[in-house]
C-alpha cells in the first residue's frame, strides 16, 4: 500500500507540474504498452455511438462526453463473479486518476447489459466505492429493446450471451475513448497493470503527439518500480 501511495504521489506531482506529462508522446506510450503490457490492445476507430439513461433517468449519449477521455466498461448487477471484480478494478483506476488533475478530464462510464433488471435505485446502489462526480452507470432508455445494451457491447467487440437462467457469458474489457469520441485502447481481463492504463489516459489528456527527443525512462517504468 505504501508503494502504491508513493506511485500516486508521483502521478499527482507530475501532472500538476504543468509539464506535458513527463513529455512522453501518445505514440511512445502506445509502442511501449504494445511491448510491455500483455493485455493492452491499441485501437483507433470511431467509438460506437450510444444514447442511454442514468439512474435518475437523464439521457446520456457518447457525443455528450466529447472533450473528455472516457473509460468504459460493461457489467450487469446480477453477475455473481467477474463483474464485481471488474467494478473493483474500475474503482481502483478512478481513485488513482482522481488524485490528480486528470479528475476533471476523465469520465468513467459503466453500461449494464441487463437493462430489464438494472435501472433506477439498482444502478445508484451498485456504485459503492465509485465517485459519482465522474462516474455514471447507464441503462437502456424507455422504448429501447432489452438487448440494446448487449448490442452496444458487441459493437465494442465484447459479446454477452444470455442463458435461460438469466446469467450472461462474457469477457472483461476496459475500453478507453479519447476526447474526440475515438476508441483508442482495450485493456483485456483484470490482470493488466492499472498504472499502464493511467499512463495511457494521461497521454490522451495531454494530447502530446511528438517525441520528447531524449532517452528517459517512461512514467510507467518509474511507477512500476515503486509498486513492485
Annotated binding-site residue numbers: 79, 83, 170
What is the spatial distance between Cα 87 and Cα 130, in angstroms, rounded to a whole number? 9
Domains along the chain with CATH numbers: 2-227 (3.40.30.10)
DSSP state of 180: T
Instruction: Tell whether the model's pLDDT for residue 217 goes beyond 70.
Output: no
Q: What is the reported pLDDT for 11?
A: 54
For the segment 43-78, what is each residue's pLDDT rounded down to a tens digit? 999 999 999 999 999 999 999 999 999 999 999 999
What pLDDT shows up at residue 26? 87
Q: Could you count the other beta carbons within 10 Å of the beta carbon of residue 63? A: 11
Contact 183, 43 (CB under 8 A): yes
Q: For the segment 97-139, what is each residue's pLDDT rounded down to a tens digit?
A: 999 999 999 999 999 999 999 999 999 899 878 999 999 999 9
Q: Evaluate if residue 215 carries a pLDDT over 90.
A: no
Non-local CB neighbours of 96 within 8 Å, separated by 6+ positions? 8, 11, 194, 195, 198
Instruction: Provide the 3-class DSSP secondary structure of residue 186.
Output: strand
66/82 Cα distance (integer angstroms): 30
Distance CA 71, CA 16 (A): 21
Q: Across the chain, what does the average pLDDT equal?
A: 85
User: What's the per-residue H, E or C state across 80-92?
Assistant: CCHHHHHHHHHHH
| Helix, strand and coil percent figures for the chain, each rounded to 5 | 40, 20, 40
Three-class secondary structure of residue 22 per DSSP = helix
How far are the Cα atoms of 66, 80, 103, 136 from residue 106, in angstroms, in the given order? 10, 28, 6, 12
Burial class (CB in 10 A: 0-12, 13-18, 19+), 77: middle
Q: Which of 2-16, 147-161, 193-207 has the lowest mean pLDDT?
A: 2-16
Angle between helices 2-16 and 194-206 (to 10 degrees): 10
Is there a contact between 38 and 190 (Cβ–Cβ < 8 Å)?
no
Give the pLDDT band (50/70/90) at residue 4. Answer: very low
Cell of 9: 504521489
pLDDT of residue 223: 52
Binding site feature residues for Cu cation:
79, 83, 170
Amino acid at each position: 500500500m505504501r508503494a502504491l501511495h508513493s506511485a500516486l504521489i508521483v502521478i499527482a506531482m507530475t501532472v500538476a507540474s504543468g509539464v506535458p506529462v513527463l513529455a512522453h508522446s501518445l505514440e511512445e506510450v502506445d509502442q511501449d504498452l504494445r511491448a510491455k503490457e500483455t493485455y493492452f490492445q491499441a485501437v483507433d476507430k470511431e467509438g460506437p455511438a450510444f444514447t442511454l439513461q442514468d439512474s435518475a433517468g437523464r439521457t446520456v449519449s457518447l457525443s455528450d462526453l466529447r472533450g473528455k477521455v472516457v473509460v468504459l466498461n460493461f457489467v450487469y448487477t446480477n453477475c455473481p463473479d467477474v463483474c464485481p471484480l471488474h467494478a473493483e478494478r474500475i474503482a481502483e483506476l478512478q481513485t488513482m486518476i482522481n488524485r490528480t488533475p486528470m479528475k476533471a478530464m476523465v469520465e468513467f462510464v459503466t453500461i449494464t447489459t441487463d437493462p430489464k433488471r438494472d435501472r433506477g435505485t439498482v444502478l445508484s446502489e451498485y456504485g459503492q466505492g465509485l465517485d459519482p462526480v465522474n462516474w455514471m452507470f447507464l441503462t437502456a432508455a424507455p422504448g429501447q429493446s432489452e438487448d440494446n445494451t448487449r448490442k452496444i457491447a458487441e459493437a465494442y467487440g465484447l459479446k454477452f450471451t444470455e442463458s435461460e437462467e438469466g446469467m450472461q457469458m462474457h469477457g472483461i474489457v476496459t475500453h478507453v475513448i479519447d476526447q474526440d469520441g475515438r476508441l483508442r485502447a482495450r485493456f483485456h481481463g483484470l490482470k493488466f497493470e492499472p498504472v499502464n492504463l493511467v499512463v495511457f489516459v494521461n497521454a490522451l489528456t495531454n494530447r502530446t503527439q511528438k517525441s520528447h527527443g531524449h532517452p528517459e525512462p517512461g512514467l510507467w517504468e518509474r511507477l512500476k518500480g515503486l509498486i513492485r
